[in-house]
Structure 1
Amino acid sequence: MLGHKLNIKNPKLLVVTPLNAIVQDQASKLSSIGVQVGILRGHMTGSCPDHQSDEEEEEETNRISSTDVCIAGSTEEQLRKANIVYAHPEAVVSSRPYLLSDAIQNTVVATVVDEAHCIVEWGLDFRQDFAKLAILASLFPHTPTAAMTATAPQDYREAIIKSLCLKKPVIISRNPDRENIMYAVKSRLPSTHGVQSYYDILYPIAIKLLEERICYPSTIIYMKLKYCGYAHRLFENVLGVHQYYPETCAGPDHRLFGQYHAPQTEEMKQVLLKQLSSHQNTCRVVFVTCAVGMGVDAPSIRHVVHIGVPHTMRAYFQETGRAGRDGCPATATMYFNGSDIAKNKAGMQQIMRELCRGDKCRRATILQHFGYKPSVTQRSVHALNVIWNYVSTSYMMMATHSRICMKCCIAQSFCTWKVNQHPS
């Protein structure tokens, strides 16, 4: 529309985005509706940005590897015809001569920085070209720029505006409250118990998957890289010949569970991404590291499980946001132990400790970090962010984990049940 108003032939939108998963997902969907897509090739250098000990960094090495951002570029002819051109920050910084060419300067009508919070989180050390995206202002001085993110508290917004050299930007924001997601927090065995602290969580899920097969609710389980292989072997042992659906069709496309992380082959990643993006997916349980967060549009995930605690609220909210993207009820369950939230845990935000140990409403704790409050219009019983106890004699639900959660829910008409007493 903007290109038509400006009388520009073959107008283009330049989209800067961090990961191949995002590019591939969006390019596939746009191509299916007839939008021409081009990809400007770039390369990444850097190391894992997580605040981890040397042991943890070794465990999760290549969380985001070069294969996640080095992508096959389009030909010059494809770029010329494209309506939307995707590029990683590295490609933008290294392609200055091309971006200054008439073919680009005369056709780009707007630029977009997607997942803009990466400017703050990755720009200083991990992928430093994120901090150099002010180059867009010099390359396209008269072209509007939009920065998009779903997880940016006030200090992030200010840093993004400054880094991109945005002049008097219009800020459009909305409450990020995911009303259809229930947030639950549960304790797990100490890490000194090793795989047992994972087994106690994973084994019941495997048994349930064996019983329900294709009817089991789609589930993503976040865990450390070294335990993904263990989880996969455990499920293989539990399900045996029943791990495929139908059982006669043995192969990754028909397995009821899988694993997605940076060391995984590109072919296997594509199989799982295709499965996750479908409403009729065979893969019901996926073991993942934090490589699955941004850019994975899985519409029908009913349950997100964390075995361990993300270091930041932004990461936690991003990862739990994989659940319930179709608007239907979903659950996010986080299992923690003392070492997960220890005071000497490098990079662990205090608010994550409060989320695990505190007695405040978890939804309110999450939203407060982003400068918002829970929506008072919420009425879904499933979305009450408390741990419920079903009392069989009276069929009454009580919040045994947090008295404040129950009081908040009643006060804001989140449910209409009469509660005769609160836990002391």
Structure 2
Amino acid sequence: MPVADLLPDALDALHATFGFTAFRGVQEHVVSRVLAGQSTLAVMPTGAGKSLTYQLPAVMLEGTCVVVSPLIALMHDQLRSATANGIRAATLTSADTDREVTIDRFREGELDLLYVAPERASQPHFRELLSKARVSLFAIDEAHCVSEWGHDFRPDYRLLRPLLDAFPQVPRLALTATADHHTRADILAQLGIADDGLIVAGFDRPNIRYAIRPRENAARQLKTLLEENPGPGIIYAPTRARVEQLAETLAATGRRVLPYHAGLSPEIRARNQAAFVASEDMVMVATVAFGMGIDKPDVRFVAHAGIPKSIEGYYQETGRAGRDGDPSVAVMFWGADDFARARIRLSEVEERRQQSERQRLDSLAGLVETAQCRRAVLLRHFGEDPAPTCGNCDNCLEPPGVADMTELARKLLSAVYRTGQSYGLGHLEKVLTGIADDRVLQRGHDQLSVFGIMTEDEKPLLKPLARALQARGSLIPTEHGGLALGGDAREILKGEASVPIVLPPKRERKRRGGASSRDTGANPVGNPLFEALRALRRDLAAEAGVPPYVIFHDSTLREMATVQPASLAAMGEIGGIGSRKLDAYGDAFLAVIRQF
């Protein structure tokens, strides 16, 4: 049957299963290719509905869609949502106690979806199992994990090709939110998908407000962020010790805050994650070990208490905010020491990957130090041609000042060189400002040509300049905490490179909307009907043992509160209410609406 003839059926199934009357973005294009049996790589931003592009065909096609997913937590999260929509789904993981039942259901053709990890999918015995039933589609989620050039390489993804090739008639759908041009080409090659099977939806997440600021006092800055954003949030910290420290400090604000890192026992990690997923206002402080397994749509903010590993990592981690499409914020607090440590770590990377990793770090430094639109810098990194301004990042909302600091940079770099490239910024500042303390005198640094050459006006700019030079790699840390020349330092000293820097904002200046989602109108706070619907949702979720968003998203409750349907038929027209959910919950929500 031609694809065009399948689309009316697909729209009917879309409404019956998910409660939507139309596809979003490239969903229709991807679903059309899958239904036509064509293998595809879809690069779609987080929150664009990637899982729907294989769940809907799984309902429509004969046989079972086998989904390869990297984390058990992610599989179980998607299993809950699929089951709530009436899709026959199961997981086959080491954590499941009913594996034999699942295998029997699969062999009997009683499953629409079967989720497995790449470690299992790449084994010969799993291939043998698949040969005993009908497979309709292979969906490879988080497909960037297959590429050595991806930011989250998983070797077991590289072993999937023999499984796919053993079923040449079954189409392949690879899905990722995070892949640059190089990574996309590698995914296509590794999974045996033709170049014309690539669909790129774009990377923009317009509902996320980006803000990046120098880290002055992380605990105080994060407390302010929590005050401004009452919804659920994730704070990423660089080390386990920092996670514990921040979680304890922020919990003292009265907000429920829990830690998550690989040093905690599996039981504590699972308990904390379950609490976060079920919560409507909790904050998780975590290392990057937390996140890929979270499909929580109502995360209202993501904060970084230090720099991520790359722009790809930043995009993926901030993309965990606002998956439901409601306004959300992403804030990064960074320091020069973040880049210093990152550049030291580069020497530990295998040599053939050092150049690409250095380029990634330089790109991240460019994002952090830019005075331009953050979103535009981010999207250009992924090969897009965005508008020069977005109106929803800190630099667009409050354009910063930019100053040419080339001359001051030459003074600082010259002081670094003439003092032997082994002293920290505090000592260098004394030399440059002409403070002859005992240490300066003992080392004869009062006799240097750079002694006292910095003016009083330049002094407040020295720290932001040093931070910017370390971000771009012109200054690098020594083993004992000093500073040495690196990168393009010699070009700057020779006058062959300029040093524009973003001026730090004045402290008394209120950042207008810089990092708050409270004023975005995401939810009609104070609307008694909306709050009553949320309370019912909480009760139903607790009774079913699922997170509240599995029942309905906030956007669905908002539409209920606005439309106030008087019948099940009218409620069925609201977005996000499929036939299964209408049968299960419709009467209960109608009863609450009638009270108002």
Residues 1:154 and 1:267: Cα distance change in structure 2 (over 3 Å): same
The answer to whether the Cα contact below 8 Å between 1:122 and 1:128 also exists between their aligned partners in 2 is no
Determine the structure 2 residue equivalent to 1:400: 400
Determine the structure 2 residue equivalent to 1:33: 85
TM-score, with structure 2 as normaliser: 0.50
Question: By how many angstroms is 1:156 displaced?
Answer: 0.7
How many residues in Structure 1 have an aligned counterpart in Structure 2?
A: 331
Determine the structure 2 residue equivalent to 1:386: 395
The share of aligned pairs that are identical, in percent, is 30
Question: By how many angstroms is 1:207 displaced?
Answer: 7.0
Following the alignment from structure 1 to structure 2, what is the Cα–Cα distance between the partners of residues 220 and 387? 24
Determine the structure 2 residue equivalent to 1:50: none
Mapped pair 1:164 → 2:191: yes
Residues 1:104 and 1:39: Cα distance change in structure 2 (over 3 Å): farther
The answer to whether the Cα contact below 8 Å between 1:187 and 1:336 also exists between their aligned partners in 2 is yes
Residues 1:125 and 1:377: Cα distance change in structure 2 (over 3 Å): closer
Following the alignment from structure 1 to structure 2, what is the Cα–Cα distance between the partners of residues 134 and 375? 39
Q: Among 125, 128, 148, which residue is 1:100 paired with? A: 128
Following the alignment from structure 1 to structure 2, what is the Cα–Cα distance between the partners of residues 187 and 316? 16
3-state secondary structure, aligned to 1:399: coil
The answer to whether the Cα contact below 8 Å between 1:386 and 1:401 also exists between their aligned partners in 2 is no
Q: Among 201, 221, 226, which residue is 2:235 paired with? A: 221
Determine the structure 1 residue equivalent to 2:280: 281
What per-residue deviation string (whole Å, max 9, x for no partner) do you get for residues 202-225 of structure 1? 24544775x78xx82332110022
One-letter amino acid of the structure 2 residue matched with residue 107 of structure 1: R
Q: Among 311, 314, 323, which residue is 2:312 paired with? A: 314
Question: By how many angstroms is 1:268 displaced?
Answer: 4.1
One-letter amino acid of the structure 1 residue matched with residue 395 of structure 2: V
Following the alignment from structure 2 to structure 1, what is the Cα–Cα distance between the partners of residues 61 and 375? 48
Following the alignment from structure 2 to structure 1, what is the Cα–Cα distance between the partners of residues 233 and 91? 32
One-letter amino acid of the structure 2 residue matched with residue 91 of structure 1: R
Determine the structure 1 residue equivalent to 2:473: none
3-state secondary structure, aligned to 2:210: strand
Following the alignment from structure 1 to structure 2, what is the Cα–Cα distance between the partners of residues 282 and 207? 15
Mapped pair 1:79 → 2:106: yes
Determine the structure 2 residue equivalent to 1:356: 368
Determine the structure 2 residue equivalent to 1:19: 71
Determine the structure 1 residue equivalent to 2:301: 303
Following the alignment from structure 1 to structure 2, what is the Cα–Cα distance between the partners of residues 122 and 90? 20
Residues 1:78 and 1:282: Cα distance change in structure 2 (over 3 Å): farther
Question: By how many angstroms is 1:134 displaced?
Answer: 1.0
Mapped pair 1:151 → 2:166: no
TM-score, with structure 1 as normaliser: 0.69
Determine the structure 1 residue equivalent to 2:215: 188
3-state secondary structure, aligned to 1:141: coil
3-state secondary structure, aligned to 2:143: coil
Following the alignment from structure 1 to structure 2, what is the Cα–Cα distance between the partners of residues 302 and 371? 27
The answer to whether the Cα contact below 8 Å between 1:16 and 1:113 also exists between their aligned partners in 2 is yes
**For structure 1, which runs of at least 5 residues remain unmatched after alignment?**
43-69, 190-199, 244-255, 389-397, 405-424
Residues 1:369 and 1:126: Cα distance change in structure 2 (over 3 Å): closer
Q: Among 333, 339, 343, which residue is 2:337 paired with? A: 339
Question: By how many angstroms is 1:74 displaced?
Answer: 2.2
The answer to whether the Cα contact below 8 Å between 1:292 and 1:319 also exists between their aligned partners in 2 is no
3-state secondary structure, aligned to 2:313: helix
Q: Among 323, 343, 356, which residue is 1:325 paired with? A: 323
One-letter amino acid of the structure 2 residue matched with residue 114 of structure 1: D
Question: By how many angstroms is 1:141 displaced?
Answer: 1.2
Question: By how many angstroms is 1:266 displaced?
Answer: 4.2
What per-residue deviation string (whole Å, max 9, x for no partner) do you get for residues 252-274 of structure 1? xxxx1112223334444444444
Mapped pair 1:202 → 2:202: no
The answer to whether the Cα contact below 8 Å between 2:371 and 2:399 also exists between their aligned partners in 1 is no
One-letter amino acid of the structure 2 residue matched with residue 257 of structure 1: V
Following the alignment from structure 1 to structure 2, what is the Cα–Cα distance between the partners of residues 277 and 323? 13
Q: Among 120, 124, 128, which residue is 2:155 paired with? A: 128
The answer to whether the Cα contact below 8 Å between 1:260 and 1:287 also exists between their aligned partners in 2 is yes
3-state secondary structure, aligned to 1:286: strand
Structure (1/2) with the larger helix percentage: 2
Residues 1:377 and 1:83: Cα distance change in structure 2 (over 3 Å): farther
The answer to whether the Cα contact below 8 Å between 2:211 and 2:394 also exists between their aligned partners in 1 is yes
**For structure 2, which runs of at least 5 residues remain unmatched after alignment?**
1-9, 11-34, 38-56, 347-356, 404-499, 501-596
Work out which of the two has the higher radius of gyration on C-alpha atoms and give 1 or 2.
Answer: 2
Question: By how many angstroms is 1:120 displaced?
Answer: 1.3
Determine the structure 2 residue equivalent to 1:253: none
The answer to whether the Cα contact below 8 Å between 1:293 and 1:318 also exists between their aligned partners in 2 is no
Following the alignment from structure 2 to structure 1, what is the Cα–Cα distance between the partners of residues 287 and 158? 25
Following the alignment from structure 1 to structure 2, what is the Cα–Cα distance between the partners of residues 93 and 206? 45
Question: By how many angstroms is 1:104 displaced?
Answer: 3.9
Mapped pair 1:368 → 2:380: yes
Question: By how many angstroms is 1:362 displaced?
Answer: 1.6
3-state secondary structure, aligned to 1:155: helix
Determine the structure 2 residue equivalent to 1:420: none
Question: By how many angstroms is 1:151 displaced?
Answer: 0.8
3-state secondary structure, aligned to 1:166: coil
Residues 1:105 and 1:337: Cα distance change in structure 2 (over 3 Å): same
Determine the structure 1 residue equivalent to 2:558: none
Following the alignment from structure 1 to structure 2, what is the Cα–Cα distance between the partners of residues 328 and 186? 23
